[in-house]
Amino acid sequence: MNDLLRQLLFLPEQRSSLAGEVDGLHYFVILVTMGGAALITLIGGYFLIRYRRRVQDTSTPHPGAFARPALFLETAALFGLGFLFLTFWNIGTRQFVDLRTPPEDALDVYVTAKQWMWKFSYPEGESMISVLYVPARRPVRLVMTSRDVVHSFFVPEFRIKQDVVPGRYTTVWFEASEPGAYPILCTEYCGTSHSEMRGQVIALAPADYERWLAGGAASTPAFAQEAADRAELAAAEPTMPQRGELAAARHNCLRCHTLDGTQHVGPTWAGLYRAVVPLEGGGERVADEAYITESIMDPLAVLHRGFSPVMPSYLGQITPPDVAAIIELIKSIRDVPHGPVVPWDGVSGGGAPAPGGITTP
């Protein structure tokens, strides 16, 4: 029954001591509401047919004295609803208290969330990125905070989810019911790479956990090593061009510039690196690192011929690592095909043939 309902509702396996209870309440609420909806549909349908209009006479006969339904029916309905409310409330409150109160002997692990990774620190001094090793069948309490924005720690198999808030500590606890690897997701939208803010809880048999504490990840079972590799790969530092794209998105550069060679408000970045840029008022410059940096910090110093002077200066707004990453991004797309660089006329993708086309030497 449990498994059938679980699969009907597309829920993952229950792998913590409280998961079964959480699902139990879920099933109960769903079954009661579905039952109620079915009952109302049936009664409504019966009335619809039983009292449909059968004669052409449209006047409503006077019903006479208001016909009261039997008193016992009203009382039963009221008590029934009251009872349901109290039952939901009772189960819900108990579960809330259980979920909020970690057992005394819980193992503490500190969790720091930041864009876009989870860091787990153990009182013994060990620190892990993206991978949370815990012993199975032992309560674990997570003491969580965020270094930037609000994140949310979610382990579907454990049925736990808790916001992680900057400047505050929140806690959550669980007891993994058997060894295994369980995905961690961030469920509070926290920026560009929110969807990649993932990790793994690796629950180890107590003996394996002791071995991990003593000897590190190499002494854990194969399933744990695989899961850890996967998690670490996903959390690997992005490459410079990838970071450049994130920085460009963050600073809204991509509202005016494109990476795919199409024209927009500003010149496309495709094929820009080391191209010869014609300047407004004559002359030209090679788009090297110096030119790109100058264009970002002091866009009006020289203008790409034919474009309007609308780019704001980013002097003091953007950090040197972001500028470097953006330069690497522009370098990485120097071979992307692009047409002649002409100003965007606000209608089409191009316009008159390039007064200020760039030519790649």
Cα–Cα distance for residue pair 42/288, rounded to 1 Å: 75
Q: Which is nearer to ligand HEC, 151 or 331 (CB)?
A: 331
Maximum separation of any 2 CA atoms in the chain, in Å: 98
Give the x-and-dash track for 323-352 against ligand HEC (CB under 6 A).
---x--------------------------
* Site stretch for ligand HEC (CB under 6 A), options 38-46, 112-120, 163-171, 290-298: 290-298
Partner that binds at residue 151, options ligand HEC, Cu ion, none, CB closer than 5 to 8 Å by kind: Cu ion
- Determine if 111 is a binding residue for Cu ion (CB under 5 A): no
Least distance in angstroms from the C-beta of 167 to Cu ion: 16
Nearest distance from residue 318's CB to ligand HEC, in Å? Answer: 6
Site string for Cu ion, 193-212 (x = CB under 5 A): ----x---------------
Between 265 and 354, whose beta carbon lies closer to ligand HEC?
Answer: 265
| Binder of ligand HEC out of 5, 107, 185, 265 (CB under 6 A) | 265
Distance set, CA 354 to CA 135, 343, 344 (Å): 66, 8, 11
Round to whole Å and give the CA distance between 67 and 75: 16
State phi, psi for 179 to the nearest 5 degrees: -60, 145
Give the one entry of Cu ion, ligand HEC, none that residue 244 binds, where binding means its C-beta sits below a cut-off of 5 to 8 angstroms depending on kind: none
Burial class (CB in 10 A: 0-12, 13-18, 19+), 106: middle
Among 131, 172, 270, 311, binds ligand HEC (CB under 6 A): 311
Whether 215 and 226 have beta carbons less than 8 Å apart is answered as: no
Distance between CA 164 and CA 168 in Å, rounded?
8
Helix crossing, 19-50 with 71-100: angle to 10°?
160
Question: Which of Cu ion, ligand HEC, none does residue 264 bind to, with CB < 5 to 8 Å depending on kind?
Answer: none
Task: State residue 74 phi and psi, 5-degree precision.
Answer: -60, -45
Select the residue interacting with ligand HEC from 179, 267, 271, 278 (CB under 6 A): 267
CB of 103 to ligand HEC, least distance (A): 51
Among the residue ranges 47-55, 76-84, 95-103, 255-263, the one whose residues contact ligand HEC (CB under 6 A) = 255-263
Least distance to Cu ion, CB of residue 158, Å:
18
Using rule CB under 6 A, residue 272 touches ligand HEC: yes
Query: Which residues does residue 351 pair with via DSSP β-bridges, in sequence order?
Result: none
Distance in Å, CB of 249 to ligand HEC, minimum: 10
Indicate whether 259 belongs to the interface with ligand HEC (CB under 6 A): no
Q: Which partner in Cu ion, ligand HEC, none is near 93 (CB below 5 to 8 A by kind)?
A: none
Choosing from 2, 33, 262, 308, the residue that interacts with ligand HEC (CB under 6 A) is: 308
Choose which of 155, 186, 228, 330 interacts with Cu ion (CB under 5 A): 186
Site of interaction with Cu ion (CB under 5 A): 151, 186, 190, 197
Site of interaction with ligand HEC (CB under 6 A): 248, 251-253, 255-257, 265-267, 272, 277, 292, 295-296, 299, 303-304, 307-311, 314, 318, 326
